[in-house]
Amino acid sequence: MDHVNLGRSGLVVSRLVLGMMSYGDTSRRAWHLDLDAARPIVRRAVEAGVTVFDTADVYDRGASEEVTGRLLRELFASREDYVVATKVYYPMSDRPGDRGLSRRHVLAAADASLRRLGTDHIDLYQVHRWDYATPVEETMEALDSLVRAGKVRYLGASSMYAWQLAKAQHVAEHNGWHRFVAMQNHYNLAYREEEREMVPLCLDQGLGVLPYSPLARGLLTGSRRREGGGATTRSENDPAAVSAYVPEDFDVVDALCAVARELGRPPAQVALAWLRTRPGVTAPIVGATKPQHLEDALASLELSLDADLVKRLEEPYRPHEVSGPE
């Protein structure tokens, strides 16, 4: 497993990030795993050299953070051996103000995440969405205070417009506060709108790009059908995937499957290998609810795509409406 710096920051990360969203409360989603079911998958990731684990407070209302913290304490000898990333924004209760990026919510949410994770610091603390109701100055000052207090090591952003990221970076720099070092965004072979403005901005500003949904919620594994539904539990019970992708995306899937057949590889490995060719991408965030999901992600690191194959994979793409920031 190769390890690289996250953008121009000093934080060293593995070239794969294990997404922990599907681990926690099995009553919330049919495909979620509890602690015991998640343990062998996370152990295999650790054995393979994965050192970055991404969760969020809102995932299963804190259960994902609890499972993440417990497993990482079990599987690593030292806290300094792994990087834990979590997020803040979404509501954790029905109480007024228990959401967004206000100073009050950010500081309270960070403390709550630390308790659930069972650690004294968060390596990468990310704003999950842009908060239109809170001045960005208030948010960036609150995040800076967490870094200065030693509760957070680095700051990251997720799913916003490029102008919003640029504004946040400018506000932080102008006031001498810590800036974002990473962007976690929706980016894959079937959704490439981030290449227009966000990725160039990240390259210019030195942010590492950590794409989420690198397999387009299973679309790029070949498990979904043009007429709807799919061959897996998640593909049959995932309304968000229906709204995120359009019928024309299956032209991309057809090209992907054709290349995969020629290479003798599963489509998932080829789709992940393509992401690795993209400028600015540090590491995709890969979710795994079955051992084979993780094995495909690991195998993709050994797969190289030449320029002709990349061109064939990209040719069928059609522009989309921008999604994700809202």
Neighbours of 74 (CB within 10 A): 12
Name the stretches of the chain with pLDDT < 50.
235
Task: Give a yes or no: residue 39 inside a domain.
Answer: yes
Task: Give a yes or no: residue 256 inside a domain.
Answer: no
The pLDDT value given to residue 31 = 79
Task: Give a yes or no: residue 107 inside a domain.
Answer: yes
Range of the domain at 138: 3-214+277-303
The pLDDT value given to residue 219 = 95
Indicate which CATH number applies to the domain containing 112.
3.20.20.100
Which are the contacts of 24, defined by CB distance < 8 A and separation ≥ 6?
A: 32, 34, 59, 60, 63, 64, 66, 67
In angstroms, the CA 317 to CA 294 distance is 26
Task: Give a yes or no: residue 175 inside a domain.
Answer: yes
* pTM across the whole model: 0.94
Q: Look at the chain and report how many structural domains it folds into.
A: 1
Interior CA angle at 233 toward 229 and 237, to 5°? 55
Strand, coil or helix: what is 123? strand
Tokens at 41, concatenated: 């998958």
Task: Give a yes or no: residue 23 inside a domain.
Answer: yes
> Which of these is catalytic: 59, 125, 191, 212?
59
Token pair 């993780």 is found at: 294
Task: Give a yes or no: residue 186 inside a domain.
Answer: yes
Asked if 294 and 41 touch (Cβ cutoff 8 Å), the reply is yes
The pLDDT value given to residue 242 = 56
Residue 59: active-site member: yes
In angstroms, the CA 32 to CA 27 distance is 8
Q: How many residues does the chain have?
A: 326
Task: Give a yes or no: residue 100 inside a domain.
Answer: yes
The pLDDT value given to residue 27 = 82
The pLDDT value given to residue 245 = 76
